Structure 1
Amino acid sequence: MTSRLVIFDVDGTLVDSQTDIIDSMTAAFAGQGMTVPSHEAIKGIVGLSLPVAVTHLAPRVSEARRDALVAAYKSTYQALRLQNGAKGSPLFPGARAALERLAANPAVTLAIATGKSRRGLEALMTSHDLAGFFASTQVADDHPSKPHPSMIHACLRETGIAAENAVIVGDTEFDIEMGHAAGIRAIGVTWGYHPLARLRRADLRIDAFDQLEAALGGLWA
């Protein structure tokens, strides 16, 4: 039996965290007296490590101002997480059922590659009781920002599964580019934060979680 690896992005793929992300970035920029980026611009940087994301939104700010924006974002996001719990980042429809079906398959191993911090990911997984699903969890604390392939390489190394038997599932072009840079295939999900045009390099695209297993089967046929 060939072992397969399915690596999931988190924000915009498994959970809908856009409200907390937008509110936190809005508070960070407003608190620094800066023009607040549009909601679409903020959603466009989801998945990047936070310092890189802030630099994309405010490319001409000083390093000190960037660090202040990052700190303000983290502070607000943590407060919202404590206030809202799982309600602030609900699972997308069908996400848990898809994870349960895949985890029940002895040939499939699950992993995570996310721009979240370790603390943020662990809090999210606790709130949704997800910890038992994933054999490898890679976070922004330990790697260069997406689309660098470091997180994928770590997932492959920790699980011992070959790149040709691995797939990344994500909602942004950063996920797709990261997967291809690591030599694995990528499934783009259309319910997340990047528009369809930015998912054009995905090997396959799906519109709902109930399409995931068929898509994986098609890639691995």
Structure 2
Amino acid sequence: MSAPLRLVVFDVDGTLVDSQADILAAMAHAFERADHPLPARDTVLGIVGLSLDVAMTRLAPELDAARHGRMVDWYKEAYIALRAEAGAAQSSPLYPGALEAIEALHGVPEILLGVATGKSRRGLDKLLEAHDLRRYFVTQQVSDHHPSKPHPAMLQAALSETGVSAADAVMIGDTSFDMEMARAAGMAGIGVSWGYHPRTSLRDAVRVIDDFTELPACLNLLWETAE
């Protein structure tokens, strides 16, 4: 009997790449342009993964929708400039072991890979191109086409595109939004401890790993338990 088709979906910022320096700098630019106090570093990193419009509303709830929209534009303006100056590969470097984990999973015939990210299509394209990752991911879900995490739309689309059942899929991410999204989609969620949310916030994860080398055994255990 052949093994069932599996789907592994990765978050991007805080999971595959560390883009916090540019995120913090771009957010500082947006708040400076808005003449509004910048929230604390941990507060800013706590919204990573959300779509920018939702993130701005959470970070500056006292401002109106028009100003939030301008702040999104200012953020994008600064982020694009920072990425252009350093190059996306240097601006958002891969975490140690990320590429090796992707390559190893890609080499397993019954495993398909995807991404679900709060990035825009343009932002994800730049990142995948910079790290030469596009060929690995058969499904790519971005903020342009879906409600913000933790709404399950991204994962539902990934399941639909690949034909994989939720029981045979897993979401890997660093934030509570990723884990809540997985739960809402009926999928298991594996948290990673090296990202932008504290380990304690990943309560919806079936497991939390501290290094990419732990991922294969974690997936094997998860799927063996499900069978």
Alignment match, 1:186? 189
Report percent identity of matched pairs.
53
- Equivalent-residue separation in structure 1 for 2:103 and 2:197 (angstroms): 26
The code of the aligned residue for 1:177 comes to: E
- Equivalent-residue separation in structure 1 for 2:95 and 2:38 (angstroms): 27
- By how many angstroms is 1:122 displaced? 0.2
Alignment match, 2:209? 206
Question: How many positions carry a matched residue from both structures?
Answer: 221
- Equivalent-residue separation in structure 2 for 1:78 and 1:154 (angstroms): 27
Coordinate RMSD, CA, aligned: 0.5
- By how many angstroms is 1:179 displaced? 0.3
What does residue range 6-25 of structure 1 map to in structure 2 within 5 Å? Answer: 6-25=8-27
- By how many angstroms is 1:76 displaced? 0.3
Alignment match, 2:108? 105
- By how many angstroms is 1:196 displaced? 1.0
Alignment match, 1:2? 4
Does the alignment pair 1:161 with 2:170?
Answer: no
TM-score by length of 2: 0.97
Does the alignment pair 1:170 with 2:189?
Answer: no
Give the counterpart of 1:69 among 52, 68, 71.
71
- Equivalent-residue separation in structure 2 for 1:53 and 1:63 (angstroms): 12
The answer to whether the Cα contact below 8 Å between 2:183 and 2:204 also exists between their aligned partners in 1 is no
Give the counterpart of 2:150 among 140, 147, 150.
147
Runs of 5+ consecutive residues of structure 2 not aligned to the other structure = none
The one-character-per-residue Cα deviations of 1:28-73 (angstroms, maximum 9, x if unpaired) are: 0011111011110110000000000011100111111101110000
User: 1:167 aligns to what SS in structure 2?
Assistant: strand
What does residue range 123-142 of structure 1 map to in structure 2 within 5 Å? Answer: 123-142=126-145
User: 2:112 aligns to what SS in structure 1?
Assistant: strand
The code of the aligned residue for 1:44 comes to: G
TM-score by length of 1: 0.99
- Equivalent-residue separation in structure 2 for 1:186 and 1:16 (angstroms): 20
The code of the aligned residue for 1:77 comes to: Y
Alignment match, 2:37? 35
Q: Which moved more, 1:3-12 or 1:59-68?
A: 59-68
Task: Give every structure 1 segment of 4 or more consecutive aligned residues whose post-TM-superposition deviation is greater than 3 Å.
Answer: none
- Equivalent-residue separation in structure 2 for 1:132 and 1:154 (angstroms): 19
The code of the aligned residue for 2:79 comes to: Y
- Equivalent-residue separation in structure 2 for 1:34 and 1:129 (angstroms): 38
- Equivalent-residue separation in structure 1 for 2:40 and 2:86 (angstroms): 23
- Equivalent-residue separation in structure 2 for 1:141 and 1:41 (angstroms): 24
- By how many angstroms is 1:129 displaced? 0.3
The code of the aligned residue for 1:67 comes to: G
The code of the aligned residue for 1:120 comes to: G
